[in-house]
Amino acid sequence: MAVDSETLRTVMRHWATGVAVLTVRDGAHVHGMTVNSFSSVSLEPPLVLVCIERVVRTHGLLEHARTFGLSILAEGQAEISNRFAGRDTEHADRFEGLETYTAVTGAPFIVGNIGYLDCQVVAAHEVGTHTIFVAEVLSAHVVNGSQPLLYYDRAYRKIELLPEQ
């Protein structure tokens, strides 16, 4: 018998993750959302996956555009993560006042990120309440010297390096 959703939610709060903002440009429509459900799938070819709930605005745009960007957030970008995470801003312009740039697909990337992935969807699988989008990475870049924004147990965290053993 499967566990209930609250038990799963409680356990998953103890899985530390990085924080990224997924962005989509579909014609004149631009939108994005905070995600931590993304992962590398393959190095050859370069593939990643993201899991998006089917009821959010970003899902429909991504399903149509078939391209997206991921801005991996730096430790000082918690406010940006909150802006793109809120259900209360689902229909607002989340990019208002933010500096962005583009790479190959036209999806916007947030200035100050520690790295980005510019992706084209190659497969989509509906599972439960979400769609798993598998995408080929067309362009990627990392900014050295910055620390990532981390999320653990419903709070933002930062890396504290341990002394070498």
Q: Of 13, 19, 16, 15, whose CA–CA distance to 147 is shortest? A: 19
At 63 the pLDDT is 96
Tell me the whole-structure pTM to 2 decimals.
Answer: 0.92
Q: Please return the burial class of 159, using the count of CB atoms within 10 Å of its CB with bins 0-12, 13-18 and 19+.
A: exposed
Tokens for 125, please give them.
């699988």
Element (H, E) at 140: strand 130-142
pLDDT digits (tens, 9 = 90+) for 42-62: 999 999 999 999 999 899 999
Residue 91 has pLDDT above 80, yes or no: no
Residue 160 has pLDDT above 90, yes or no: no
pLDDT, mean of residues 75-90: 88
At 90 the pLDDT is 72
Residue 93 has pLDDT above 90, yes or no: no
The topology (CATH level 3) of 18-143 is Pnp Oxidase; Chain A (2.30.110)
Average pLDDT, the chain: 93
* pLDDT cut 70: percent of the chain above it: 99
Residue 40 has pLDDT above 80, yes or no: yes
Residues recorded for the chain:
165
At 86 the pLDDT is 82
The contacts of residue 15 (CB under 8 Å, 6+ apart) are 152
From 22-36, 82-96, 128-142, the region with the lowest mean pLDDT: 82-96
Residue 165 has pLDDT above 90, yes or no: no
The contacts of residue 90 (CB under 8 Å, 6+ apart) are 56, 57
Work out the pLDDT band at 69, boundaries 50, 70, 90: very high
The contacts of residue 82 (CB under 8 Å, 6+ apart) are 34
β-sheet with 38-42: strand ranges across: 29-35, 20-26, 67-72, 115-127, 130-142, 47-53, 38-42
At 132 the pLDDT is 97
pLDDT digits (tens, 9 = 90+) for 116-157: 999 999 999 999 999 999 999 999 999 877 899 999 999 999
